[in-house]
């Protein structure tokens, strides 16, 4: 079907895909969150299940506290060769650079990093030619020969075809041998509304490349299409011989200029070939995705579900499910979500309309539930046992917008994301976020309802999307359960 929905919703940008037999695997960027690089599996390209994260150990992923949001892990490429998965990625934390990881099972464990200091820039790609030589191509676009087992490069990176003359940000290169040609797929136009996908072909991995006369082969710029910012694509041939493209895009909402709040999501489209060039069809989505199901966690397991992500690290001294069995225990480090070392663990917001609830015990501290985009843009509802308060942080302005006396522990806190009230006009935001408490009978009482546009990329900047999660602002906070479910508008 073609309902304009992503196959992997929420903040899952920069998809890279590979097939092994009848199994398909996708990885995405994770930026400032730990663990890094979510890994998904599918048998039909439509229904995807998260099977883990590639970077789960501190020795694999170091994200310093002075690293800004939207830095960290950029644009992985996933490939399979001779029974082994190869993952090359950029860590944009200072002094990290490009590195390679390997695994025999994409669910993990993955190896320690193999540094590749001779690979410049970001968005690295790996491809092997007929004689087994491996080439690494990066944004820009340039290429260098590499030994992926050691990270050693040979020679000086050389420039390649870089898209339309004058087009900004040629990036996300991927090379493929298809038939008699080598194809170089890139994104260009910037990752905003001008984003697009273009392609060229040549006789070898190094070119020379001739561009497709129909470039860009994918873009929704200057259209009224509900899905925008289409780019950063990867191609895969299915087991039945058909071709498909995964790519990132956004679903802006509200009035002008439109605000996207879930970040850049992963979409799918069929590809046909005409005169040796790919033609991208309409967005394809499943009737019902596993991501549409409600999520419930009682924190009974010794380890968190792989969909939980934490800010910059997940030190057991600050985040654990074993200290009090049946609870997630957070020990505060930063004093609020404004601090880069805040203790925060959450899950990506996957739906345009949804709600989340958590049962929290703040008898030993202060903490609560938050909708986060970055340190300067988040809405929180927290308690210190004496008072429940709603906090709004937008840019340089931090304000307590509502309070009420704090009831006895445990306390059920909630957020609810719904469409804005009618009537709508060009200034209407994409949604509203209600933050409040839930009574024992299930009744939700909102303490404040805030405009969702301020937790959007168009306002906050950066490359991520909303994450709904749990945090400790002081002392020790225990969370006994967490639920998330989509809502029908």
The residues assigned a catalytic role are: 14, 171
Enter the tokens of residue 417: 């994301």
Query: Distance from CA of residue 61 to its chain's centroid?
Result: 16
C-alpha–C-alpha distance, residues 235 and 246, integer Å: 7
Sequence-ordered list of residues with C-beta below 8 angstroms from that of 155, at least 6 positions apart, any chain: 144, 145
Enter the tokens of residue 154: 């040979």
C-alpha–C-alpha distance, residues 358 and 346, integer Å: 11
């Amino acid at each position: 079907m073609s309902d304009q929905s992503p196959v992997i919703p929420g903040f899952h940008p920069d998809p890279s895909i590979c097939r092994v037999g009848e199994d398909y695997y996708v990885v995405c960027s994770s930026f400032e969150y730990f663990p890094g690089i979510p890994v998904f599996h599918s048998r039909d390209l439509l229904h995807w299940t998260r099977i883990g994260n590639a970077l789960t150990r501190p020795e694999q992923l170091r994200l310093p506290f002075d690293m800004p949001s939207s830095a960290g892990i950029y644009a992985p490429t996933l490939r399979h060769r001779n029974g082994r998965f190869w993952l090359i990625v950029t860590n944009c934390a200072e002094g990290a650079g490009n590195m390679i990881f390997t695994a025999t099972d994409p669910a993990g464990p993955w190896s320690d990093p193999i540094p590749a200091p001779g690979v410049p820039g970001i968005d690295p790609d790996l491809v092997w030619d007929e004689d087994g030589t491996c080439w690494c191509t990066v944004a820009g676009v340039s290429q260098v020969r590499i030994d992926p087992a050691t990270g050693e490069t040979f020679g000086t990176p050389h420039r390649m075809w870089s898209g339309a003359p004058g087009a900004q940000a040629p990036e996300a290169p991927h090379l493929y041998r298809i038939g008699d040609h080598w194809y170089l797929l890139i994104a260009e136009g910037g990752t905003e509304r001008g984003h697009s996908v273009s392609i060229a072909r040549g006789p070898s991995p190094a070119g020379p490349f001739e561009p497709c006369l129909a470039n860009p082969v994918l873009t929704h710029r200057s259209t009224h299409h509900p899905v925008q910012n289409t780019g950063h694509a990867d191609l895969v041939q299915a087991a039945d011989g058909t071709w498909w493209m995964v790519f990132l895009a956004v679903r802006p909402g509200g009035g002008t200029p439109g605000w996207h709040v879930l970040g850049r999501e992963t979409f799918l489209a069929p590809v046909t070939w005409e005169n040796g060039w790919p033609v991208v069809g309409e967005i394809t989505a499943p009737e019902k995705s596993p991501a549409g199901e409600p999520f419930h966690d009682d924190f009974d397991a010794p380890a968190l579900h792989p969909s939980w992500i934490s800010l910059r690290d997940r030190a057991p001294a600050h985040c654990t499910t074993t200290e009090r069995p049946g609870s997630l225990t957070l020990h505060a480090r930063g004093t609020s979500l404004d601090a880069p070392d805040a203790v925060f663990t959450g899950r990506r917001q996957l739906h345009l309309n949804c709600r989340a609830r958590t049962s929290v015990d703040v008898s030993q501290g202060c903490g609560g539930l938050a909708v986060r985009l970055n340190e300067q843009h988040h809405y929180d509802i927290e308690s210190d046992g004496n008072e429940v308060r709603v906090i709004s942080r937008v840019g340089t302005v931090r304000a307590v917008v509502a309070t009420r006396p704090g009831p006895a522990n445990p306390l059920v806190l909630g957020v609810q994301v719904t469409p804005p009230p009618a009537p709508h006009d060009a200034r209407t935001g994409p949604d509203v976020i209600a933050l409040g408490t839930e009574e024992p009978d299930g009744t939700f009482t909102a303490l404040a309802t805030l405009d969702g546009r301020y937790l959007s990329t168009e306002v906050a900047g950066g490359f991520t999307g909303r994450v709904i999660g749990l945090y400790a602002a002081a002392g020790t906070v225990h969370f006994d359960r967490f639920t998330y479910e989509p809502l029908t508008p």
